[in-house]
Structure 1
């Protein structure tokens, strides 16, 4: 292809830059001056903007919310939307999640595939175009987002201060192309505990999960149990663990019993690929002899209305369509003590449904003392596969890979494609490839990384010359 030799010549730099940007723990943190999403996110943005400037691109930092690197001229603009923020790393990594270590030709780190590796691939793709000297009809702007995982305040800020791209893509999903993305709804269900009754068991705390859009891989409950009932409760819990065939451990802590639930992490848009540690533990607690008070009502509601199901069917949320499939329901975070309970939930609903419909069903099924709190949400998108944008990118993909079989797909994941008109998600995961986003031991293969740079160089070139 036109830019392949240039990309090959930069392979070492591409690898090194990917390792470097992975060393920033760019999880949303406490806001600071010039760092609205925390120091780690700021460091990651500063790094890529400095790298872009060294490459000779025009750069701009919009008060730490978002930045961009730009090349070329023209009245119209091709945009590439990437993000540098990441979800929390979680536990159980084989290699340190913020070291960028290479093992077996794979670069390991949180954000390697979602979305720092692809961001670096796009940056070097644009450098290859610049170094080649080819002419472009449109200017190209790589927009470096910093809040994609936690609310899109970066995009809100960008829209208030900058011109919009006319068309483009985000390298944050799958090849060959994403033509539809389900709607997203993230919310809390809260309950203040007013009635408390004495019983054999008292729940000190129940906590687990890192983010609403992650299937939680760990949850724990600390129980205070009457001494004369302790052995019986321990026996009962162990029996349930065996019957349920779940990865749950029981620890005797003197006056208390600690129950640790281990699941399998996955992206919140694909809960069927994980095992929800929170719900696994709730299904055990639900069957214990708690006093029938507010705490138990809170636990029992989720046991009965959700359980290990991820379709929302027990809440009448089993909505689907032929374009994007069925609704998914993920309980990602829980915090319960003796005063209140809070659960954070992430829903992906079909493109033909609406947020108003989904919310009305949820609220209709909530008991009186339960409070619904909206956190954030995004409308679904559906782009015609016959559009010039889609056809151009499909041509690039097919010519670059020789894959004439794979077709555009619909996903539950939410990408920056819905931020502007005439945008789609384009890569980085190839058909049949492992879905590693939001999982422990996230990595990108070096061969994959270099291939992305080659594909994205042609995609940028073609979109800039339509």
Structure 2
């Protein structure tokens, strides 16, 4: 009987949901410079404050953990479930067409704006699931807590702070990935590599490179300046390269500026994008340079265009439960004195420090680079037959009408470091929400269905 009440409530509050989501999307919550009382900058602190006002307005008991996270408790009963969402967002570009990133627009059954899919929309769906249960008077035997963080995209220091003060719930899910349920997350390895390279003052040379801002994003733009060559020489080399990258050339006082344009994607699915850094280095390696050509060729050899799975680095591997290893060169900078790059690899269960980390370390050092020390973050796994996974799948099946099965991902969701956490919604694989890309959106019907699924799951677990 409770199902019909909750569904009707959520449908009746559709416009409220959308207005609350718009309020959060309008806040630019990209990570900024740390300030006193605002550990991740002005935007993340502001979005937490705004969310806390919403939570209080709807009658929930809240706590602000020094602008790292904000929580809302359903009741003062013993807690059995945490729902973990985040309100920070990835950087934006100037290539949006449907709207501006922080000016939400509803169009063709979708709501556009940065964070609508990752993760402000899912956070609102979870909030309205709680609100529906509370206002419809559905009794629960145990309480649950909504945890809203502000640093998921840049390392999850928010959760490190929170869990140093609070215990992990018996069960946790995060609406930070796909339905039905993701119970296995690949391991992660992110490392810097550097090499000293003096461009000098004469001869043909690369004098500057800037590509990427976040290692967990496939970069869609990378820029280099080359000295000592004509525009025609660079253009001739670019025309010989066959890939998915567009090269834009401009003469400047420093030399020829090369802008490589690709396609952004999440680092866990690099095959969905085209890496502008790889395309740029591919071109630099083919130029008739007098200085440093060996290092540019070495990077191009290790990270060739459209090598998404680490084949050139000899770490490509795959297993049945977690899929293929992925590799993304997310950042590359050069200031005329030092090349510095950062890569991101997502590693299946069959991967280890012996067959991945050690191989990469040896390859980079063999080519003259200094690579950062460190080991991989181990994969995360919650058994598919656990109570949490089975109850979440049951709720999903009620609303989707299809059999749900536990899935694996290369993405590091918000629960990667929690012993008893899984990812649950809000996306479906057949819809490309442009997460981490331009014109990000959430399908409104999916937002509503997600809220209903979450409400059903809360009642199954806590009721």
CA distance in 1, matches of 2:243, 2:57: 57
CA distance in 2, matches of 1:390, 1:346: 28
Whether the aligned pair in 1 keeps the contact of 2:244 and 2:262 (CA below 8 Å) is no
SS at match of 1:250: strand
For 1:57, the equivalent position in structure 2 comes to: 60
For 2:118, the equivalent position in structure 1 comes to: 114
SS at match of 2:30: coil
For 1:301, the equivalent position in structure 2 comes to: 298
CA distance in 1, matches of 2:413, 2:320: 21
CA drift of 1:376 comes to 9.3
For 2:159, the equivalent position in structure 1 comes to: 155
CA change 1:263–1:375 in 2 (3 A) is: farther
Mapping of 1:189-208 within 5 angstroms?
189-193=193-197, 200-208=203-211
For 1:282, the equivalent position in structure 2 comes to: 281
CA distance in 1, matches of 2:429, 2:272: 16
Whether the aligned pair in 1 keeps the contact of 2:357 and 2:375 (CA below 8 Å) is no
CA change 1:72–1:187 in 2 (3 A) is: same
CA change 1:4–1:231 in 2 (3 A) is: closer
Whether the aligned pair in 1 keeps the contact of 2:73 and 2:146 (CA below 8 Å) is yes
CA distance in 1, matches of 2:200, 2:51: 56
CA change 1:431–1:335 in 2 (3 A) is: closer
CA drift of 1:232 comes to 4.9
Mapping of 1:247-396 within 5 angstroms?
247-253=246-252, 256-291=255-290, 293=291, 295-308=292-305, 309-355=307-353, 357-367=355-365, 369-373=368-372, 378-396=377-395
Q: State whether structure 2 residue 3 is matched by structure 1 residue 6.
A: no
Match of 1:38 among 29, 36, 41: 41
* Structure 1 residues 47-100: Cα deviation after superposition (integer angstroms, max 9, x where no partner): 111100111101001111111111123334210010111110123111100111
CA change 1:390–1:238 in 2 (3 A) is: closer
SS at match of 2:194: strand
SS at match of 2:154: coil
CA distance in 2, matches of 1:374, 1:115: 32
TM-score by length of 1: 0.93
Match of 2:169 among 165, 168, 174: 165
Q: State whether structure 2 residue 132 is matched by structure 1 residue 128.
A: yes
Whether the aligned pair in 1 keeps the contact of 2:231 and 2:256 (CA below 8 Å) is no
CA distance in 2, matches of 1:116, 1:282: 36
For 2:96, the equivalent position in structure 1 comes to: 93
Whether the aligned pair in 2 keeps the contact of 1:187 and 1:376 (CA below 8 Å) is no
CA distance in 1, matches of 2:389, 2:169: 16
What is the CA RMSD across the aligned residues, in angstroms? 1.9
For 1:214, the equivalent position in structure 2 comes to: 217
CA change 1:19–1:236 in 2 (3 A) is: same
For 1:143, the equivalent position in structure 2 comes to: 147
Whether the aligned pair in 1 keeps the contact of 2:231 and 2:251 (CA below 8 Å) is no
* Paired positions, count: 457
CA change 1:402–1:120 in 2 (3 A) is: same
* Structure 1 residues 119-150: Cα deviation after superposition (integer angstroms, max 9, x where no partner): 01101110111111122121110111111111
Which blocks of at least 5 consecutive residues in structure 1 are unaligned?
none
CA drift of 1:179 comes to 2.1
Mapping of 1:408-447 within 5 angstroms?
408-447=406-445
TM-score by length of 2: 0.94
Which blocks of at least 5 consecutive residues in structure 2 are unaligned?
none
For 2:29, the equivalent position in structure 1 comes to: 26
Whether the aligned pair in 2 keeps the contact of 1:80 and 1:169 (CA below 8 Å) is yes
For 2:70, the equivalent position in structure 1 comes to: 67
Whether the aligned pair in 2 keeps the contact of 1:90 and 1:210 (CA below 8 Å) is no
* Structure 1 residues 148-189: Cα deviation after superposition (integer angstroms, max 9, x where no partner): 111111111011111221102100111111121101122211
CA distance in 1, matches of 2:429, 2:269: 16
CA distance in 2, matches of 1:280, 1:255: 22
CA distance in 2, matches of 1:377, 1:58: 38
CA distance in 1, matches of 2:341, 2:94: 21
SS at match of 1:127: helix
Mapping of 1:167-186 within 5 angstroms?
167-186=171-190
